[in-house]
Structure 1
Amino acid sequence: MKAWRWNGAEYEPCDSLPLTDRGFRYGMSIFESLRVNGGAPEFFDRHLSRLVQACAERDIPVEESALAAGETLLRENGTSGFARLYVTAGDGGPAVTTGQARVFIFIEPRTPPDPEDPWEIGLHDESYHPPFGGLKTANYWFNCEALARAHHRRLNETLLFNDRAELVSACMANVFLLRDDRLCTPPRSSGCRPGVIREWVIGRRKVEERRLRREDVVNADEIFLTNSWIGVMPVATVEGRPLAHRTVGPRLAGELANRRDEKL
């Protein structure tokens, strides 16, 4: 893994986070994850826009130029892999207004999963309470534990539901369901994250954003997950029930792969 910190003028290599930083102490940080192909960060402008908006919502002052410089850094580094841009609340007490945020970037080599090897997923039993309406913050412990339980069951992912029994998302991805040729995804009001690939799918297909429940999941003809790393991942089974109908997800995965090839 390679990591850098913004020093006010440029990014410099770093290998640690100050223990005084509230991103470490209280999980007070905002981030965006993105896939990098041969030094080309995917959908960087969209990730930048979401990060700036999220910082504004949480009153974390950050220089947009510092975040924008991350694209140049990743391109010059030339590495393919999984990258994240983090903005932390900096030093201070838990109730102190953020004065000086910190900006970090890291990238680690990874091999992305193959959408031609569809995933097996489950349904998580405990209610999920997404912080701040689904903003991408460092408060990920619930998601990590739920994902660990899924892996223990030899599943790739598991779906989360809020305290109103509404489908929110998978642990690390957004979710789309197809039933009777109607493509649906949970609305932001249910707590899902405003993912870049989620919005890309909505821009390419007719999608209904509506409240979904367990019965919608178990009766779905097709399900696929999306995030900036996996792209579009078709689902093979839900709690062991096979989903034989897989057309929209694989087609979208192919369209996204074609976009990557054009950008290289």
Structure 2
Amino acid sequence: MKLPIAFSPGFGVFETLRVENGTAFFVEEHWRSLLESAKTLGLSPKIDFRHGSLHLPKEASGKWRWIVGPREEKEFFEPLPIETKRGFSLEISEVRVGSRNWDSRLKTLSYLSHFQARLSVNADEAILLNEQGHVVSGAMSNIFFVKNNKVFTPSLQTGCRNGVIRQWVMSQIDVAEAHFGPETLQAADEIFLTNSWIGIKPVVRFESKILKKGRITTVLEGLLADTYSLLKKLSSESGIRSQSFNQGREELSDGAR
């Protein structure tokens, strides 16, 4: 059944890119993610948003958003200071998401359950569980935890979104994808959150448990910062102010990585 074109509330997808000093990060990865999400909804973007990177404000930092719907496609840049919060608090939300639902796995314009979850907790971020009680993600982020120097993250089968920074982390270190309940996080040595805006941030409080930023989180933060610096350098030298992380990997292998 086709949805009516004249009235399609919340029917569309979006991507949010981090822009720092005029350079948009991981453009190719975000473009691929947008295409995959749009295809799931039966949409086919006609605008190649990647070309807009050449017109971003040269010295500005903020969020660059791409939006695709059945009748409209648009982009806009929102100047914002880069997130400086050093650590995030985290609580479990009563809001549940379905492991097979689009609004869980994709960045759809129908993002109400995610906002509801975040507003339902007295913390910086909320944990979303699926119908089986497994941890899916944060309301606005992917989640990782460390136990005995091994790194874990929810499996895509839980309903989590395969975020761009999630993919980057998994390209740098060995990560086990698993199904686990929130009680597993109580025993974690480290917990950290990722998304394209905040990058990588440690969790300093999960429910009543206080955590310190651990070694693995610290190393990954440093690697991501090095990647950002390299991509800004490559963009400046090439005259192209956007790069994917794959384009910088060979140089990183001899330096930051």
Compute the TM-score of the two structures, normalised by the length of structure 1: 0.80
- Residue of structure 2 in register with 1:140 after alignment: 111
Structure 2: which 5+ residue stretches go unaligned?
A: 233-257
- CA 1:251–1:114 in 2, change beyond 3 Å: closer, same or farther? farther
Asked if 1 retains the 8 angstrom alpha-carbon contact of 2:95 and 2:116, the reply is no
- Residue of structure 1 in register with 2:87 after alignment: 118
Distance in 2 between residues matched to 1:46 and 1:160, nearest whole Å: 24
Structure 1: which 5+ residue stretches go unaligned?
A: 1-19, 91-101
For 1:187, give the aligned amino acid. S
Which among 47, 52, 55 is matched to residue 38 of structure 2? 55
How much identity, in percent, do the aligned residues show? 29
- Residue of structure 2 in register with 1:106 after alignment: 76
- Residue of structure 2 in register with 1:73 after alignment: 55
Asked if 1 retains the 8 angstrom alpha-carbon contact of 2:61 and 2:82, the reply is no
Cα displacement (A) at 1:87: 0.4
Asked if 2 retains the 8 angstrom alpha-carbon contact of 1:221 and 1:245, the reply is no
For 1:210, give the aligned amino acid. A
Asked if 1 retains the 8 angstrom alpha-carbon contact of 2:200 and 2:220, the reply is yes
User: 1:224-261 deviations in whole A, cap 9, x for unaligned?
Assistant: 00000000011101012111361211221111112222
Residues 1:200 and 2:168 are matched in the alignment: yes
- Residue of structure 2 in register with 1:87 after alignment: 68
Distance in 2 between residues matched to 1:61 and 1:81, nearest whole Å: 27
Which among 184, 188, 198 is matched to residue 216 of structure 1? 184
Distance in 1 between residues matched to 2:213 and 2:115, nearest whole Å: 29
* Range moving further from structure 2, 167-176 or 216-225: 216-225
For 1:203, give the aligned amino acid. S
Cα displacement (A) at 1:160: 0.7
* Range moving further from structure 2, 131-140 or 176-185: 131-140
Distance in 2 between residues matched to 1:250 and 1:123, nearest whole Å: 24
Asked if 2 retains the 8 angstrom alpha-carbon contact of 1:120 and 1:240, the reply is no
- Residue of structure 1 in register with 2:246 after alignment: none
Runs of 4 or more above 6 Å deviation = none
For 2:206, give the aligned amino acid. V
Distance in 2 between residues matched to 1:192 and 1:73, nearest whole Å: 33
User: 1:37-96 deviations in whole A, cap 9, x for unaligned?
Assistant: 122110001100111121112111222x5333232333x665310121000111xxxxxx
SS of equivalent residue, structure 1 residue 53: helix
SS of equivalent residue, structure 1 residue 144: helix
Distance in 2 between residues matched to 1:72 and 1:212, nearest whole Å: 43
- Residue of structure 2 in register with 1:228 after alignment: 196
- CA 1:186–1:69 in 2, change beyond 3 Å: closer, same or farther? same
- Residue of structure 2 in register with 1:32 after alignment: 15
Alignment root-mean-square deviation, CA? 1.8
Residues 1:186 and 2:154 are matched in the alignment: yes
Cα displacement (A) at 1:128: 2.0
Cα displacement (A) at 1:21: 6.5
